[in-house]
Amino acid sequence: MSIISERTQAPSLAVESFAGTLDVLSRILPARLLKPRVAIVCGSGLSTLASSLRDVVEVPYSSLQGFGKSTVEGHRSALAFGLTGEGDGIPVVAMLGRFHPYEGHSLSTVVYPIRVLARLGVRDIIITNAAGSLNPNLDVGTIVSIQDHLALPNLTGFHPLLGPTRPNYPRFLPLSTAYSRPLRRLVFLAAHALRLPRDALAEGTYAWVSGPSYETPAEGRFLSAAGADVVGMSTVPEVLAAREEGINVCVLSLVTNKVVIPEYKSVREEVQAELAGKAIERAPEAEVSHEEVLSVGKQKAEVMKSLVAKLIELIAAEQEK
Ligand SMILES: O=P(O)(O)O[C@@H]1C[C@H](O)[C@@H](CO)O1
Ligand SMILES: Nc1nc2[nH]cnc2c(=O)[nH]1
């Protein structure tokens, strides 16, 4: 079977394949919302990031050709167009819910909304996600500004940009500057303006895995040894499509759990101690759950929301320079 199977094949990027979606949006949206300057992708449990927008028009994914349906709890299925900031406001679009390959969506479906956002004129995107921490210094609740990624699926042939060469698209996309340094600078300036405590915001590398299982301890150790600070099941395909479309990318991961990497304790020794009648100390065995992920998302949504709102203000000010 060809590595470029139907599942991984990039979509046709002919103008006509976007025309239906863009036509629906242009009929629904008032002119001031139709050209968003910044886009937000809301990660698991983070749809409330869009709740501070005003004059909101929500467009369900079901009414947009080419969009799938998000089936994961904590993800809605709509685009929210609205304004943020003072005065006339800054037009923004938020993806309330994303698509993950583990839901059965093809990679081309996963990245299709990003390509639509590009065609609406979005120049800067803030992609958020919930992630597990692989780094002992990154506690639950920390927001991590992503500076790089490690994508084993991409390195082994599961890549959203596989497919024939397309006119006006680079064949070989460079990724050494994928995570915009100017935007990462604005993230820290936004945190400073909000007087967030120093440990509320960190920098790190995101490992993309396909999911839907969480990591075994050995996988956690492997990703950590390879240089990743957090791990998740999304974001990287969106980053690749955004970069291919020429959009500046900023990624914020919310640490919702620690990846469980226990010290192995020998069962043989435990049994021997038990047989010898010695007292045994057993550490409780921990497991992560999506409920825990959503619950931390809920608790931290307000901080994340104010950081994103301030960041959008700073981005809009930069765009006007
Ligand atoms: O969409 P994100 O990356 O925020 O969701 C994370 C990864 C899985 O989809 C899910 C696991 O709990 O949360
Ligand atoms: N792969 C992965 N994704 C996550 N999303 C939120 N937490 C986790 C995690 O621990 N592992």
Q: How far is C-alpha 307 from the geometric centre of its chain's CA atoms?
A: 16
CA separation for the pair 84, 226 (Å, rounded) = 39
CA of 221 to the centre of ligand 1 (A): 20
Spatial CB neighbours of 46, under 8 Å, sequence gap ≥ 6: 74, 128, 129, 130, 254, 297, 301, 304
CA distances from 180 to 156, 171, 175, 197 (A): 25, 21, 10, 23
From the CA of 131, how far away is ligand 1's center (Å)? 7
234 among annotated binding-site residues: yes
CA 217 / ligand 2 centre spacing (Å) = 13
Which residues are tagged catalytic? 44, 75, 100, 102-103, 130, 233-234, 257, 290
CA-proximal residue: ligand 2, atom 9 (nearest): 132
Q: Please count the other Cβ atoms lying within 10 Å of the Cβ belonging to residue 283.
A: 8
Digit-coded pLDDT (tens) for 75-115: 789 999 999 988 889 999 999 999 999 999 999 999 999 99
**Distance from C-alpha of 33 to C-alpha of 320, rounded to nearest angstrom:** 18
The bound ligand whose nearest atom lies closest to the alpha carbon of 131 is 2
33 CB burial (10 A radius; 0-12, 13-18, 19+):
buried
Tell me the C-alpha distance between 288 and 256, whole Å: 10
Residue nearest to ligand 2 atom 3, measured at CA: 232
Quick: pLDDT tens for 115-154.
999 999 999 999 999 999 999 999 999 999 999 999 999 9
Long-range pairs, 279-282, Cβ under 8 A, ≥24? none
% of the chain at pLDDT higher than 70: 95
- 210 Cα to the center of ligand 2, angstroms: 10
Domain at 25-320: CATH code: 3.40.50.1580
Task: Ligand 2, residue 133: give the atom nearest the CA.
Answer: 10
pLDDT tens digits for range 223-239: 999 999 999 999 999 99
Mean pLDDT for the stretch of residues 282-301: 85
Domain boundaries, the chain: 25-320
Q: What is the pTM of this model?
A: 0.93
Q: Is the dihedral of CA 185, 188, 292, 58 positive or negative?
A: negative
Residue whose CA is at the smallest distance from ligand 1 atom 5: 44
Q: Which two structure tokens, joined as six digits, stand for 23?
A: 């036509």
Provide the 8-state DSSP code for 179.
B
For residue 98, give the ligand 1 atom closest to its CA.
1
Q: What is the pLDDT of residue 45?
A: 82
Q: What angle do CA 230, 235, 240 make, to 5 degrees?
A: 120
